[in-house]
Structure 1
Amino acid sequence: MKASTAELTKAGLNLIGQALSIYDADLRLAVSNRMFRDMFALPEWMVRPGAPFADGIRYLVERGEYGPVADVDAAVAERVAQARAFEPHYLERTRPDGTVVSVEGSPLPGGGWVTVYTDITAIKAQERLLRARSEVLSGELLARAEELAGANRKLAAATARAEEARREATEMAARIRMTTEMLPAHIARVGPDRRYTYSNRRLGAVMPGTPADIVGLPMDEVLAPIWPAVAPNIEAALAGEERVFEVTHDPSGRRVRVSFTPERGEGAGVYALSMDVTEEAQARAAVAQAAGRQVAAQLTSGMAHDIGNLLTVILGLSERMGGMDLPAGAREAADAIKLAATRGGALLDRISGLSGPRDLTPRAVDLRALLAEVAALAGPSLPSGVRLRTRVHGLDEPVLLDPDALRDALLNLVLNARDAVGAEGRIAVVARPVRDTWVELDVTDTGSGFSEAALERGAEPFFTEKGEDGTGLGLSMVYDVVKLAGGRMHLANGPQGARVTLRLPLRQPPPGLAPTLVLVIEDARHIREAVRDRLVTAGHAVLEAGGVAEARGMLDIPGIGLVLSDIMLRTAESGLDLAREAEAAGLPVALMTSLPPDAPLWREAAARWPVIRKPFSVEKLAAVLR
């Protein structure tokens, strides 16, 4: 088995007749050879990688390596200060045992230094002998001069080897630093004084806005926004306890996981690893909320089915009216009908969600258009003295959200604000990005604000302060929607009234559904026509069938890009039977229904194919297929 480069390097350094040590920029031992330990009779802990320079100097001073010292602490502090401001040097020093050592030090490009120690006792003895006996020992002088020349040649060769080792060590240190700086995490070391002694300069990538060069700075200054959460954990780590915790960096909205690993021994510090886990936390919150929702009521599947079909017809007819040449008043009425039918479908989803789990259907959303719809729906219910303002800062491109759920949540908040404002006041809905992590929506009003009980319990189901006029489901519904999306809701009182802040994950939508040939199977003609009109408006070509038998004869038509069938058909065979045949023929399949998600047919279909609830938009269909 071949030896590693590190093993070969270590073996080569041990063959050098000189002592060699390399300390990094944090004043910790990086590399040394056997001669370094033997020349100075050092204990094992002083030659381990990571040994602190200050601890080694203190050991040598107390042992008398530098002669009598009156103030050990001052001597150690002086040498540590010299090491931090390291400069190239050469000196010769006589040790307590009489040996003479030459010391040659050079700084490294990335911080730290390399030092080579050479035993020159024999050379110094020869020099003294030459001076004492130069008159009578001319012959011996020549011999000693030859020996000295030979020794010098050996020294030059050893110096060359040491220089090569120093160069390789420098390159190795540079590679290690480059590797750590490429990691998508922040790696650091904190000393017992709670100051950074090492950093891979990636803190700003994990917590935007923090400085890159933090070596020498105290932790409480660098991590001021999250210090209250960090402080007890770093204290526990310095006491020898490993800690892993998560904290939210409020200035950037990032969720950060921090791991503290304590060192062992005198002067031990703590190694810190920080990672951005925002997306993981968002997904975790969404899963937890979905798992925690419980059944609140059971609805009649037939009623939900009929209402869904009626809304599909209303939505289709309103879109057909929108394409006609209508007077301004009639066009506004058609748009209002469309918005109301769309909201009716969303409300139907909410009601059916009480009897089973509900999945959000995110798709590309223009927030300016969405807030305009909220204003249009809420406008007729606002008193004449109440002004509603909507504004979007940034977010010029579409974002990936569930528009039906978000529209309903915002409408709930606006209507709650209306009740708080009374006959006169202002309501504002403002959307903005928080870096590249969140979409933040603020709903504020000039009412009386939240009570202490509402601030504490406002998101609880059935909590209300409106008496018999309130159901207590408005804010809890908003909270449910936000948590299902992996976001957060915060209730507060502003300078003039209440403030509800929603933070939803900021995502870019994938490409939409490309125009294709769609085979639509629906036994109710008016519903089939409404679905056809919506698909054609979006640029798709459509084939229609009223049942399974009719559709079966069309499956071999070239170019079909999607088979879209209702689940319940007034025939012996259902949409599931046709879906199996279409899938066997290699055709993409999606199913539509007005059944609630807890219906057995819905569950059977959703286990195998995309299922969309009627009424739906083409954008929602595209989102389900994605």
Structure 2
Amino acid sequence: MAVQEETRIKLMGAGLNMIQQALSIFDSDLRLSVSNRRYQTMFDLPDALAQPGAAFEDTIRYLVTRGEYGAVEDIEDAVRIRVEAARAFVPHYMERERANGRWISVEGAPLPQGGWVTVYTDITEVKLQERLLQAHSEELTSEVLAHAERLAQTNRALAASNAALEQAKRELTEMEARTRLTTEMMPAHIAHLDRELRYTFSNRRLSSVFPGLPQNIVGLSAREALGAVFDQINPWLERVLEGENLVQEFTHEESGRRIRLALTPDRLGTGPINGIYVMSMDVTEEAQARAALAQTRKRELAAQLSSGLAHDFGNLLTIILGLQGQLARRTDLPEQILQAVQSTIAAARRGGVLLERIATMSGAREMRLQPTDLAALLGDLQLMAGPALPPDIAVHVSIDDLPSLMLDQGVLQDSLLNLILNARDALAGRGGEISVSARKLGDTWLELTVTDTGTGFSEAALNRAMDPFFTTKGSAGTGLGLAMVYDQITLSGGTVRLGNRAQGGAEVTLRLPYKPAAPRSESAGGMVLLVEDTDAIRESVRQMLRDLGHSVIEAASHDEALSLLDLPGLDLVLSDINLGNGASGLDLLRACRARGMTRLHLMTALPATDSLHADARAEFPVLPKPFTLNDLRIALETMP
């Protein structure tokens, strides 16, 4: 690369030396950057002043001293005046007679990078011809001759101005290209509309904000470019044409995206409005986070349950899930018994979700996103809802082909079960169908819809059904079902929408952020040290670990576990937080960490608001009880 650069410089120098005019380029510090041989010979400069880095001030002082500018009384003052004029970097053209009697034109122009370039042309022959013409044309009046001379000088000045204009045009073109490149890199659509709402500029990002809309829209009217979106925003455009600045947010129905639209009138001072500057950007993720935060701030409930009750209840559910899980994995059970076992597991799992909700009523709920097979979850939901529905009501489930998604399974299953039970009550006495469907909406939302064939929502229910304690069931209802669905889905960054179907019946649509799960990695089981002081729970969790392919070593206390930490091949320590008398599971894992062990996990039935649970969660991953085999598998696979 160095050889190529040296060759390029030599070629450039050879080309400049072929020019019959003198040329010099000084940088912003008034030091010589480039010159040709003609520059040195024209002014008879010493080699030092023709080398890159030579100071402009030294060159001027040399020329003034030699009489280049005629007789000068104060050399330093003459140098100062010319240096200050150069520092102004103003385009200029002038003609002057040198001390040796020859004439030169001096044309200078500033450079975009700073500094300026000057071209010196010997115009002595032109001046001689002008004088000869004047001497041999006595019949021409002095006025005509003066006019001809002025015209010649004006033409030369005009040529210099044209050159400066071309340079300005090139700079403007480069600036426009840089501006377009910058706007096209922004994650927003930036455009300009004239007064007739026709696009005069666009950074070609419209389709990235509004999927399906065209990219090249300059020359199109807003209605042609935006389609159905135009009818939605046209009232705002009209207000801006009247002089109002607007920032609005709206939902693009086709993609489900939340769009922020900024509109500014195009006007100079108090002059007329010539159009509209437009910026639109996708703020879906921001809106989801904002909605979740707002809902979190609303959740201030007064009820609290004791940690001891929640702990004992959680342990009981863990035993139930463990025993029923063992039965479900048997292959010799009759189909009717197997369905009863699955219903028990589903009910116990929901009991765990309810327990967690009760335990966290006085504080912010922690989202538990985990990879979820939505088809399997809806299948479990259908099975779990079956015993609660009369024979004349059927539940149908339909789902698009979807990948594994990051969802809070407890929130989703509980919300859908609430909606199914509400639909059951609406169909009581007449029978009918309940449908649950799931589909992907763009790359933004997972949309789940629950419909029924009943009479639909009343006008009052459409307006207030999600308000706490509002019910149309009289004393038979609590008024918390839809309010709880709204609370849970909104905390997940989603939305809830109520409506009535055209063919009759109610329709509830849930939208949750669409987040595909990372591909699951398969890993061989290792040796696990299981520490649990309750025999029944330890037996249940041990069986789960074995079903996952692990070999298991058991301990019932902190001290017993410490004595087993040196076993060769120990891969993981899974401990309950409460270990009866003595030190806790948190103390145990801290001791393991001090020995350099990294695969450490806790489990507990303590509520999330318990101080010991909070301390543990700050240092190690914690699996809440009760949990299923799949919960345990996901917890161990997603360990940091």
- TM-score between the two structures when normalised by the length of structure 1: 0.72
User: Residue 450 of structure 1: SS of its match in structure 2?
Assistant: coil
User: Residue 342 of structure 1: SS of its match in structure 2?
Assistant: helix
Find the aligned partners of 2:553 and 2:236 in 1 and give their Cα distance. Answer: 64
Counterpart residue identity of residue 343, structure 2: A
Unaligned runs of 5+ in 1: 4-10, 18-33, 36-129, 138-143
Does the Cα contact within 8 Å between 1:294 and 1:356 map onto a contact in 2?
yes
Q: Does 1:506 align with 2:509?
A: no
Report how far residue 562 of structure 1 moved: 4.0
Find the aligned partners of 1:312 and 1:472 in 2 and give their Cα distance. Answer: 30
Aligned partner of 1:276 in structure 2 is 282
Q: How does 1:205-604 map to 2 (within 5 A)?
A: 205-219=208-222, 222-223=225-226, 225-226=228-229, 230-231=233-234, 233-262=236-265, 263-265=267-269, 266-268=271-273, 269-329=275-335, 330-395=337-402, 397-422=403-428, 423-495=430-502, 496-512=504-520, 514=523, 517-557=527-567, 560-586=570-596, 587-604=598-615
User: Residue 619 of structure 2: SS of its match in structure 1?
Assistant: coil
Q: 1:148 to 1:168 in 2, by over 3 A?
A: same
Report how far residue 625 of structure 1 moved: 4.4
Q: Deviations over 1:368-407 (max 9, x none)?
A: 1111111111122222222211111232x11111112211
Q: 1:619 to 1:189 in 2, by over 3 A?
A: farther
Find the aligned partners of 1:16 and 1:220 in 2 and give their Cα distance. Answer: 53
Does the Cα contact within 8 Å between 1:186 and 1:203 map onto a contact in 2?
yes
Q: Deviations over 1:449-491 (max 9, x none)?
A: 0111111111122211112221212111211111111000001
Counterpart residue identity of residue 546, structure 1: A
Counterpart residue identity of residue 595, structure 1: L
User: Residue 368 of structure 2: SS of its match in structure 1?
Assistant: coil
Report how far residue 323 of structure 1 moved: 2.9
Report how far residue 164 of structure 1 moved: 6.7
Counterpart residue identity of residue 281, structure 2: M
Report how far residue 154 of structure 1 moved: 9.3
Aligned partner of 1:610 in structure 2 is 621
State percent identity of aligned pairs: 49
Does the Cα contact within 8 Å between 1:13 and 1:165 map onto a contact in 2?
no
Counterpart residue identity of residue 467, structure 2: E
Q: Deviations over 1:319-340 (max 9, x none)?
A: 2223323134233333333222
Report how far residue 511 of structure 1 moved: 4.9
Report how far residue 577 of structure 1 moved: 1.7
Does the Cα contact within 8 Å between 2:579 and 2:585 map onto a contact in 1?
yes
Does the Cα contact within 8 Å between 2:411 and 2:489 map onto a contact in 1?
no
Aligned equivalent of 2:635, options 598, 621, 624: 621
Q: Deviations over 1:472-520 (max 9, x none)?
A: 1211121111111100000101122000000000001235575554432
Q: 1:167 to 1:499 in 2, by over 3 A?
A: same
Q: What's the RMSD between the two structures over aligned residues?
A: 3.8
User: Residue 418 of structure 1: SS of its match in structure 2?
Assistant: helix
User: Residue 246 of structure 1: SS of its match in structure 2?
Assistant: strand
Report how far residue 437 of structure 1 moved: 0.2
Find the aligned partners of 1:545 and 1:325 in 2 and give their Cα distance. Answer: 31
Does the Cα contact within 8 Å between 1:362 and 1:623 map onto a contact in 2?
no
Does the Cα contact within 8 Å between 1:400 and 1:507 map onto a contact in 2?
yes
Aligned partner of 1:85 in structure 2 is none
Report how far residue 227 of structure 1 moved: 5.2
Q: How does 1:98-137 map to 2 (within 5 A)?
A: none
Q: 1:455 to 1:147 in 2, by over 3 A?
A: closer
Report how far residue 145 of structure 1 moved: 12
Find the aligned partners of 2:242 and 2:251 in 1 and give their Cα distance. Answer: 25
Aligned equivalent of 2:193, options 170, 187, 190: 190
- TM-score between the two structures when normalised by the length of structure 2: 0.70
Unaligned runs of 5+ in 2: 1-26, 30-87, 95-107, 110-132, 141-146
User: Residue 173 of structure 1: SS of its match in structure 2?
Assistant: helix
Find the aligned partners of 1:345 and 1:429 in 2 and give their Cα distance. Answer: 23
**Which deviates more from structure 2 when the two are superposed, residues 368-377 or residues 149-158?**
149-158
Aligned partner of 1:119 in structure 2 is none
User: Residue 429 of structure 1: SS of its match in structure 2?
Assistant: strand
